[in-house]
Amino acid sequence: MELMKLTALELGKMIKEREISVEEAVSASFARIHECEDTVHAFVSLSEEKAVEDAKTIQSRIDSGELTGPLAGVPVAVKDNICTEGMKTTCGSRMLYNFVPPYSAEAVRNLERAGAVIIGKTNMDEFAMGSTTETSWFGPTLNPWNEAHVPGGSSGGSCAAVAAGETFYALGSDTGGSIRQPSSFCGVTGIKPTYGTVSRYGLIAYGSSLDQIGPVAKDTADCAAVLEVLASHDTKDSTSVLRKDCNFLQALTGEARGMRIGIPSDYLGEGLDESVRKAVLSGAKALKDQGAEVEFFSLGMVEYAIPAYYVIASAEASSNLSRFDGVKYGYRTKEYEDLHEMYKKSRSEGFGPEVKRRIMLGSFVLSSGYYDAYYLKALRTKALIKQAFDRAFEKYDVILGPAAPSTAPAVGESLSDPLKMYLGDIYTVSVNLAGLPAVSVPCGLDEKGLPIGLQMIADCFEEKKLFRASYAYEQARGGWALPFYGRKSGKEGK
C-alpha cells in the first residue's frame, strides 16, 4: 500500500537506485487491483502474467545500463481504445469485444522503449463517446472518492485507476475533454497535449481532427516526464509534428513570477457551481501571491463551442465508425439472410445507444441539403474559436478556469439527460477545436468531499508554460492526498 502512494518519478528513482525491484512494483500494483477492483471497475482486462515476465526483462535491462530513463520499470495502464499488440482492445464496445490488435500504437511503443510495464487496459465510455464511463459495454467505472458518483469520461477508467492507487500513471485520450474532465472528477492530474505532439497511430479514431493521447498521473512532474516519452514525430501519422524541444521537466521551476494569466469572465457565469467558482478563484489567488499577473478578460465564442464541437465530432465519428460492419473483425450478428441485413443487425446489436445517437447526428449533418447549413458552419465557427484564443494568447501566457461546471454527478444522473451531459463539456471542447494544450490539476474539494479540477490552457506548442504554471500552483497548494491514502480499499467510503 505504501509503495502505491509513490509518484511515478519517485518509484522510477527507487528502481534505478535498486531500493526496489521492477517485479515488486508490478506485484504491488496487482495486489492493489485485486483488493479494490470489484468496487472501482477501472480495468476491462489485465495482463498479469505477461507483466511479470516483462518486469524481469526490464529489470535486467536496467541492471545492464541499457535503460536509464526516469520511468524505466514503472507500471502503467492504457486506455482501451489505444492498440496493444496481443492484448484485447475493445473501445468499451460489444462491437470490438474480441479484437486483439496485431500491432501496438506508437504511444505504447514509446512507453515500452522507455521501459514501462503495461499492466492492463482501462475502462472507457464506448468508443470514447460519453462523459461518465457509464456507456461502456463492460459496465460502469465508479469514482474512488465516492462510489455513488461517476469518475467522468471517457478516460474514467484511467483516472479512477490512478486515483484508487491501482497504477502509478495511465494513458488516456482526449477528444473534447476526456482526459481533463475525469481528472477533475477523480482528483488527479491529466494533460491534453497540443494536437500532433503525440502520434495518433494505433488510437482507434473517434474524431480524427480532435483526438489526442495524453498522460494521467498523480502530479504535474509525472505528466511532464510521461509526455517527454510520448512526444515524437511519427511518419505513420500525417498529423504528427516534429518538435525539437520536448524537455518538459526543465519547465518545473516552481516559479510563477512574471507569468501573465487570464481568466475568461465567460467561464465564471451561469451554470457554474459556487464551490467550483471559489476553488478556481482560490487557485488564481495562489498564483497571484507567487508573483503572477492575473486579470479577467472576455474570451468570446464560448456559447458556440458545444454545438460546433458536437457537429464536427459526430460527423467525423459517423465516417470513422463506418468501418465496423461485422465483415473482417469484431462483432457479427448470428442470424441474417443477406449482406445488407448482416450490416444492419451487426451494427444495431454491436453499438450502444450513445454511439448510435452520434452516428445518426453525424450522418445527418453530412447529408445532402444539411452539409452547408451545419457542418461547414461548424468548421467556420471552429476557425473563429481559434482566432479568439490567438488574440488572448497575444496578451496571456496561460488561460485559467474550471475543468468542469460541477464536481462528479451521481451514477445514473447524466445518462437520463444526454443534452445536459453534452453541456458539461463547455470548458473543455474549445481546447480540442483549437488544437491547444491544457491540463487539469486538483484545486480543492466541494462540500460533499468530491475533488475540483483547475484547468490551465496554453498556446499551441507551449506545454512548458503550462507545466510551469501548473507546477507553481502545486507548490503553492501543498500536498494532495488521494482517497486510498487513508484506507485499504474502495469499499469503505471516504
CA distances from 53 to 50, 86, 109, 129 (A): 5, 14, 17, 34
The cell for 240 is 504528427
| Residue 30: pLDDT band with limits 50, 70, 90 | very high
- Nine cell digits for residue 489: 480499499
First to last CA, the chain: 17
User: With contact defined as beta carbons under 8 Å apart, do 91 and 126 qualify?
Assistant: yes
Alpha-carbon distance values, 471 to 24, 135, 442 (Å): 30, 34, 11
Q: Binning pLDDT at 50, 70 and 90, where does residue 491 land?
A: very low
Would you say residue 1 has pLDDT above 80?
Answer: no
pLDDT for res 486: 67
Q: Which of 104, 178, 314, 414 is catalytic?
A: 178
In whole angstroms, what is the distance from residue 399 CA to residue 332 CA?
47
Question: Would you call 178 a catalytic residue per the annotation?
Answer: yes
Global confidence as pTM = 0.95
Query: Is the torsion defined by CA of 352, 358, 364, 367 positive or negative?
Result: negative
For 235-265, how does the pLDDT look when each residue is reduced to its tens digit (9 = 90+)? 999 999 999 899 999 999 999 999 999 999 9
Would you call 154 a catalytic residue per the annotation? yes
Catalytic residue, chosen from 21, 29, 47, 79, is 79
Is 79 assigned a catalytic role? yes
Spatial distance between the Cα atoms of 78 and 240, rounded to a whole number of angstroms: 20
Calculated CA dihedral for residues 351, 355, 359, 361, nearest 10 degrees: 140
Catalytic residue from among 154, 158, 232, 470:
154
Cis peptide, bond prior to residue 314, ω within 30 of zero: no
Enumerate helices (H) and strands (E) in the chain, giving the number of each.
Answer: 15, 11
Q: Residue 270: pLDDT band by 50, 70, 90 thresholds? A: confident
Rounded to an integer, what distance in angstroms lies between the CA atom of residue 115 and that of residue 112?
5
Q: Where are the domains of the chain?
A: 3-254+477-485
pLDDT surpasses 50 at 494:
no
Cα gap 339→136, rounded to integer Å: 28
Q: Which fold has domain 3-254+477-485?
A: Amidase signature (AS) enzymes (3.90.1300)
Tell me the per-residue pLDDT of 73-107, one tens digit each, with 9 for 90 and over.
999 999 999 999 999 999 999 999 999 999 999 99
* Phi-psi region at 69: left, alpha or beta (left = phi > 0; alpha = psi -120 to 50): beta
Average pLDDT over the chain, rounded to an integer: 95
Comparing CA positions, the residue from 196, 201, 177 lying closest to residue 125 is: 177
